[in-house]
Structure formats: structure tokens, C-alpha cells
Amino acid sequence: MVSRNELTAATLDTLPITVAVLDDEGEILLTNRSWREFGSGTDDHVGADYIATTATADDEHARRAVTGIEAVLAGDRDSFTMEYPCHSPDQKRWFMMRASPFHEDGDRLVSLVHLDITERKLAEIAAEENARQVREEREALEHVLERVDGLVRNVTDAAVGAETREAIEREVCTCLAETDPYVLAWIGRADVTNQRLSPREWASQGTVPLEDDELIIGTDETHPAVRAFADGEAQVTRDLDAFEEADRWWPTGASEHFQSVAALPLTYGDITYGVLVVFASETDAFDERELLVLESLSETIATAMNALEVRRMLTTETVVSIEVAIEDPSLFVTGLSETLDTAISYRGLTYDADGTPLLFLHADREIDADSVEDTALDGSDVTILSETEDGAVLEVAAEDGLVTALSEHGGVIRELTVTDTVADLSVELPDGRSARSAYDLLEDRYDRVELVSYHETEEPAQTRQDVTSRLESSLTDRQLMAVRKAYYANYFEWPRDVSGEELAESMDISRSTFHQHLRTAQRKLLDEVLE
């Protein structure tokens, strides 16, 4: 029959934990298989002084273990537990040691158990790391939200509170440059005449440099500001050191000041007021979240600029004059000039009874009636209204065209001449927004459009358009048509280039009816002028 001691030893050998039994002097009396296998695999360490061996180790955990076991052996503690690392060269390991006293035949003994807790410890470390990351992310998010809230508030206050566009640009740049990690901000405007994009206002931390060279729209598309203005979308350079064109745009050593760049168009509706360019001292500073904030700010800035422009339009009378050169055979007057082999100039516009636009053009030479009748450009009906000493006045019935399109944008054509396939156009528009919209219309419709000049001038309280509108409102459509036809066809010149009968025929009315319309219109116009 198996003795009690043999049964105990056999049972201990089945346990997956290391176990040793110490006497009251700290000598090892018994170990199990796990203990032996953890060591050399053969030595059971029976008879060894565990306390003395452990005390020789120059280790904080060993000192704690000796102190705790001695307290249990002396009866000062009911038990002792501690966790400690025991790493191997290729593995991280942790154990929990527990010393528990018991008595056998009147002797005080201690069972010493070492339990592998590596999996639990790794899970705890992972949980602590996750908690640390969550805490850091929360703190970072709180910092970002605080920073973003302050930035949005400051920029919005600057944009909304400014009295001029220049003040908006200056205050916005200052707010951005004072917000880490931004170090430089500038707002550029486009000179559409010279196709240049250049900073108008800027602010920076210290001596952060601006661009070294001019930015040319349509050519320098490697620069993020030009791309943003041309494409109407935000552009980001995340790492300046990896940007091949960096040396072209920024002075040598600029990377000491900033590492990333973001450019955003300042757009309201279909109007682009310029571009906002922001520089940061860190790479990848403009992540998705940061870019979303800047896009929102750029919309706020553009909205404020638009509000100022609308307010200025309501409080002041301004006229924008633009001159352009158009080279495209699809332009009606250009096609007509080529077909008739003569220079063509615009004289005026009216509408017939059914609302069809009637254009009056002057040809610089005599025109054969048969050649005009054979002319059918874009479905337009061309007739000779009168012949002059130096050419002929043509009447063109056109459903759609350049003149009517510009009229829909509030434009008044002051000059339109076609010579050698090039149309020179001068048009007045009520404000900058209408001018930009009209110019965009021309660029979309025709192959080659060159802006020759752009002028914005103040008008007196009562503009020419106001007077014209009031005079025209006093006439019926037929009266207005009669007086315009007479004027454009040189009926009031002497000798007359056209008769009343011919003008009446062009309106499909009798001569007496034409003269009645003309006399009534003249009387009303004189009443407006003289009374």
C-alpha cells in the first residue's frame, strides 16, 4: 500500500505549478516535477537553503521574497504573496509566488508555490496600454477641439467684423499664423488681366519666408495655390522635403520653418475671390479632420467677402468695364464678317413684337443684297436695313447669341467690332460679380478669349442706365422699336440713308403707322428731357 508521503509527492508531481516545501530554517524538503523541470530538469534542490540562495541575488524582487518568506517562517505573517518578472532571453514571463505555513508532526513548514501568470500579465499590460492610448487620444481630442473652437471663433469674428476686404484678409491671416502648428498664412488674389496669383495679405511667426517667384495661372500648376485656384478644390503638400518643386517656390532652408502646406479656394457660389494658403511646422499637419476645419473656414471667409461686396453694391453706384478680344469663327459677328468679307461693328439692340432680339450691325463696305439673303449663320435672318456712304446697316434676327447673353448678365455693350477674324468687345456691367460671371461665360463659349482691361469706376447717383430705363419705360414696345430702328439706320441723318417707308416695311406696318409711332416716341423722349 502507498504511504501517505509517497501519495503526497505523486500528487504534487501532477500539478502544473512549481511547488517546494521549506522547513523553519528555509531548507528545501520537497519539490515537485514542475519545479525540477523549470530548473535543470534533474536537480530537485532538496537540502538547499532557499533563503540563503535567494538572498544572494542582487534584485529588488528577490529581497522582497526573502523578507516575506522569513516573516511567514517566523510566524509574523499568515501568508505572503508577490508578483515578479522572470524574463528569459527570448520570452517575457511573470510569476506569482505564494508562501503559506502549515504544521507536520509539530514542525512549522512553509509551502512555496510559483504560478505562471504571464498570460494574465500580458492582458493587463495590453489593457493598460489601451487605456493609456484612449486617455492620450481623449486628451489630444480635447486639445484639438479647444484649439479648433478658438480658431473657428477667432477667424469667424475677424471675417464677419471687418469693414473691408483687406481687413478680412489681414485679420484672418493673423489669426491663423498665431495658431499652432501654423506658422504662415497668406491670402492671394488673381489678376485676371495678367493671369497672376499673388499674396495680398499675410502673417507669420518670426521670419517665415513667402514664395520666391510669381505664380502664373495656367502655367505654374505645381504650386498648390495655383492648383487650388484653377481646380476649385483644396490642395495639400504633406511633406515639403518630398516635394520636388519645393526649391522653385520657397527659399532655400524654408523647410526649417514649415514642413507642410494647404491651399484652399475662397469660393462663394460661382465666384472665386482668391485662395487661402496655410503653412504648418509639422509634416502631415493637414489630415482629414484639419482640412475639414480649414474648408469650413474658407467658406466663412468667402461668405464674408460676398456680404461686403453686396453691401457695397447697395450703398454705392459702380460700373465695371471690361475689354476682351475674342478669336473664334463660331462667334456670329465673326462668321458674318468672314462671309461678307468686311469689318463689322455693333450699333444696338431691340426686340420685335414676339420678343426676338434684333441686332443692328454696320458693315464697312457696300453689301450685295443677294449675298445677304444667302447668308444663314446659326439660323439667323440677316437683312440690309439701310445703305450709307461708307457701308450698310444690317438687321439680324437672332434667337441666341453673344449680345443677348451679355444682356442677361446686365451687360451693356459699348463697342463690338470684328476685323481680321478678331472681335474686340467692350462691355459695361453693374458690379464685379456680374463681370466675373460674364467673363466666365465668354471663356466657356469661345476658343480664345483674352482679357485686355478691367476697370471699376464710381458712377453718379443717377447713372446713364437709370435715365435710359426711365425713358424706355415711357414707350410702348412698338414705339421703342420704331425709334431705335430709325436711329440705328441713320434715318435722322441728312441726307437720310433710309426712308420711313423702308423702315415701316421692315416692321411689317404701314408708313403712316410707323411715323405715328416715331412721332409719339420723339414727343415722349423730349418730354422726359425738357420737362
Asked if the structure places residue 128 within a domain, the reply is no
Asked if the structure places residue 206 within a domain, the reply is yes
List C-alpha distances in Å: 131 to 56, 121, 270, 456.
38, 15, 48, 62
Looking at 442, 458, 474, the residue that finishes a domain is 458
Q: Write down the pLDDT at residue 263.
A: 93
- Is 307 found in the same domain as 159? yes
How many whole angstroms separate alpha carbon 465 and alpha carbon 433?
18
How many whole angstroms separate alpha carbon 453 and alpha carbon 433?
16
- Is 431 found in the same domain as 296? no
Q: What is the CATH number of the domain that holds 225?
A: 3.30.450.40
- Is 232 found in the same domain as 83? no
How many whole angstroms separate alpha carbon 257 and alpha carbon 253?
8
How many whole angstroms separate alpha carbon 503 and alpha carbon 492?
12
Asked if the structure places residue 122 within a domain, the reply is no
Asked if the structure places residue 482 within a domain, the reply is yes
**Cα 18 from chain centre:** 66
Q: In which residue are the cell numbers 471690361 written? A: 322
- Is 412 found in the same domain as 334? yes
What are the residues facing 451 on neighbouring strands? Answer: 324
Asked if the structure places residue 221 within a domain, the reply is yes
Q: Write down the pLDDT at residue 142.
A: 63
- Is 213 found in the same domain as 309? yes
Looking at 458, 480, 495, the residue that finishes a domain is 458
- Is 274 found in the same domain as 164? yes
Pull the grid cell for residue 391. Answer: 457701308
List, as one string, the DSSP characters of 454-470: EEEEE--SS-HHHHHHH
Contacts of 492 (CB under 8 A, 6+ apart): 486
Cβ neighbours, 10 Å, residue 333: 23
Q: What is the CATH number of the domain that holds 21?
A: 3.30.450.20
Looking at 402, 436, 458, the residue that finishes a domain is 458
Pull the grid cell for residue 484. Answer: 431705335
Report the b/e string of 114-132 with b at 16+ CB within 10 A: bbbbeeebeeeeeeeeeee
**Structural domain tally of the chain?**
4
- Is 340 found in the same domain as 288? no
Q: What is the largest CA-CA distance in the chain?
A: 152
Q: Which amino acid is at 79?
A: S
Asked if the structure places residue 137 within a domain, the reply is no
Long-range CB pairs of 497-503 (<8 Å, 24+ gap) are: 497/386, 497/387, 497/388, 497/389, 497/393, 498/385, 498/386, 498/387, 498/393, 502/385, 502/386, 503/385
List C-alpha distances in Å: 73 to 17, 44, 67, 120.
22, 21, 10, 29
Asked if the structure places residue 516 within a domain, the reply is yes
Q: What is the CATH number of the domain that holds 495?
A: 1.10.10
Query: What is the extent of the structural domain holding 88?
Result: 4-116
Asked if the structure places residue 157 within a domain, the reply is yes
- Is 452 found in the same domain as 348? yes
Q: Write down the pLDDT at residue 461.
A: 43
| C-alpha R_g of the chain | 46
Nearest Cα to Cα of residue 176 among 69, 99, 55, 281: 281
How many whole angstroms separate alpha carbon 437 and alpha carbon 430?
11
- Is 521 found in the same domain as 387? no
- Whether residue 280 contacts residue 258, with contact meaning beta carbons closer than 8 Å, is answered with yes
One pLDDT digit (tens) per residue for the chain, 531 residues: 556 666 767 777 777 788 888 988 888 888 888 888 876 656 777 888 888 888 887 788 888 988 999 999 888 999 999 998 888 888 888 989 999 998 888 888 998 998 888 888 889 889 989 888 888 777 666 655 666 666 778 778 877 777 888 888 888 888 888 888 888 899 988 876 677 888 888 888 877 767 766 788 878 888 898 899 988 899 998 888 888 877 777 766 666 778 899 999 998 877 788 899 999 988 888 888 888 888 888 888 888 888 887 776 665 566 788 888 899 888 888 888 888 888 989 888 887 777 778 888 888 888 877 766 656 555 567 888 888 777 888 888 876 677 777 877 778 888 889 888 888 999 888 777 678 778 888 888 888 888 888 887 765 444 555 556 666 667 787 888 888 888 888 888 877 778 888 888 888 888 888 888 888 888 878 777 665
Q: Please, what sign has the CA dihedral across residues 220, 221, 223, 229?
A: positive
- Is 521 found in the same domain as 447? no
List, as one string, the DSSP characters of 361-403: EEESS---HHHHHT--STT-EEEEEEEETTEEEEEEE-SS-HH
- Is 252 found in the same domain as 190? yes
Q: Which amino acid is at 448?
A: R
Residues making up the chain, counted from first to last: 531
Nearest Cα to Cα of residue 185 among 177, 194, 195: 177
- Is 303 found in the same domain as 170? yes
